[in-house]
């Protein structure tokens, strides 16, 4: 495990030294660990976006990856510091719902509350603050796990993990419609929705739901319509270039989720879309 992969995600940004310090702590414990920066530009305290970004990155990480995720508005409170192991990956971070999407539907979850670092790092110089658990708790725990330390040695079992509410993904057979919501805007202003995972195959689009509340569906591609919460309907196209410059469109994004964009523009600005706004995929 000494060359294990640790994938880091935080809301620390790149202006301050916080991310570099966490990497330094890991490097002192597990110098051969491979570090991948997923992003450090999560909006401050936005646990839900962090949870989604982890889900988005997960399929492309090496087997056995340790996800070190620190978006922690409750730092210094009674919220628990966690290490969580599932078959094929491990998570380290606060018990605030940040791992909700990664753990959804899994029955192989083992979680402990990180409390035994002093014993495991006996003799090593350690700092302890009430405001930087990324440095003082989570990075050391990730480093120890990368070196092969058993999960159970980090602390006692932690049941009943905190979960954030899952996004909306509901199917109405009567309406012949899948109802979802806007999740977030990427840096280009494209709005990612909860509707998916969608796979286009010839004349049909298969829906393989990534969330509970919707069955698997096979939909007629030629009859699909995307409707925003204000009643606006958009064409479902394959590429941005199929829409005129400045025109809005819907498309299947790289993660298989329905997205709303504007060719050479920002859907978030042009359509005044916001997280939580309704969106539907209909075929009646």
**Are both 210 and 131 inside the same structural domain?**
no
Residue at a domain's end among 107, 122, 154: 154
How are beta strands 66-70 and 81-86 bridged, if at all? Answer: unpaired
Residue 163 forms part of a structural domain: no
Rounded mean pLDDT of 180-208?
95
The total of structural domains in the chain comes to 2
Percent of the chain whose pLDDT exceeds 90: 92
Residue 127: pLDDT band (50, 70, 90) is: confident
Q: Tell me the DSSP string of the chain.
A: -TT-EEEEEES--SSSSHHHHHHHHHHHH-TT-EEEEEES-PPTT-HHHHHHHHHHHGGGSPTT-EEEEE--TTTTSSPPEEEEEETTEEEEEESSSTTHHHHTT-S--EEEE---HHHHTTTS-----SS-HIIIIIHHHHHHHHTT--GGGG-SB--S---PPPPPEEEETTTTEEEEEEEEE-TTSPEEES---EEEETTEEEE--SSTT---EEEEGGG-EEEETTS-EE-B-SSGGGSPTT-EEEEE-TTS-EEEEETTB-HHHHTT--TT-EEEEE--
| pLDDT of res. 1 | 56
CATH code of 228's domain: 2.40.30.90
| pLDDT of res. 213 | 85
pLDDT in tens, 209-256: 999 989 999 999 999 999 999 999 999 999 999 999 999 999 999 999
Percent of the chain whose pLDDT exceeds 70: 98
Residue at a domain's end among 113, 130, 154: 154
**Are both 196 and 60 inside the same structural domain?**
no
| pLDDT of res. 3 | 81
pLDDT score of 60 more than 60:
yes
Q: Give the structural domain span for 119.
A: 5-154
CA distance to 11, 49, 91, 148, per residue, from 128 (Å): 20, 28, 21, 24
**Are both 115 and 13 inside the same structural domain?**
yes
Residue 60 forms part of a structural domain: yes
| pLDDT of res. 272 | 87
Residue 164 forms part of a structural domain: no
**Are both 96 and 181 inside the same structural domain?**
no
CB atoms within 10 A of CB 278: 14
**Are both 150 and 174 inside the same structural domain?**
no
**Are both 229 and 144 inside the same structural domain?**
no
- pTM for the model stands at 0.94
Q: Are 239 and 258 in contact (CB under 8 A)?
A: no
Residue at a domain's end among 93, 128, 154: 154
Cα(178)–Cα(167) distance, integer angstroms: 13
Rounded mean pLDDT of 42-48?
97
């Amino acid at each position: 495990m000494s060359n294990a992969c640790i994938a880091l995600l935080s809301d620390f940004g790149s202006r301050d030294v916080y991310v570099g310090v966490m990497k330094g702590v890991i490097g002192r414990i597990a110098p051969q660990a491979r570090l991948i920066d997923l992003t450090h530009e999560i909006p401050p305290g936005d646990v839900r976006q962090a949870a989604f970004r982890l889900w988005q990155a997960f399929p492309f990480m090496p087997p056995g990856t340790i996800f070190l995720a620190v978006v922690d508005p409750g730092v210094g409170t009674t919220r628990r510091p966690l290490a969580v192991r599932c078959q094929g990956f491990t998570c380290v971070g606060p018990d605030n719902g940040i791992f909700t999407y990664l753990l959804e539907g899994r029955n192989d979850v083992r979680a402990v509350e990180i409390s035994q670092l002093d014993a495991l790092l006996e003799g090593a110089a350690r700092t302890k603050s009430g405001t930087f658990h990324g440095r003082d708790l989570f990075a050391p725990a990730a480093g120890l796990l990368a070196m092969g330390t058993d999960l159970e040695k980090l602390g006692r079992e932690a049941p009943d993990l905190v979960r954030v509410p899952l996004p909306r993904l509901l199917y109405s057979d009567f309406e012949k419609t899948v109802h979802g919501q806007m999740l977030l805007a990427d840096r280009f202003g494209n709005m990612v929705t909860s509707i998916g995972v969608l796979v286009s195959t010839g004349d049909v689009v298969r829906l393989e739901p990534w969330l509970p509340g919707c069955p698997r569906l096979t939909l007629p591609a030629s009859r699909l319509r995307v409707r925003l919460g204000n009643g606006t309907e958009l064409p479902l196209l394959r590429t941005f270039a199929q829409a005129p410059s400045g025109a809005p469109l819907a498309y299947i994004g790289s993660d298989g989720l329905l997205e709303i964009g504007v060719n050479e523009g920002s859907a978030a600005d042009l359509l005044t879309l916001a997280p939580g706004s309704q969106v539907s995929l209909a075929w009646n």
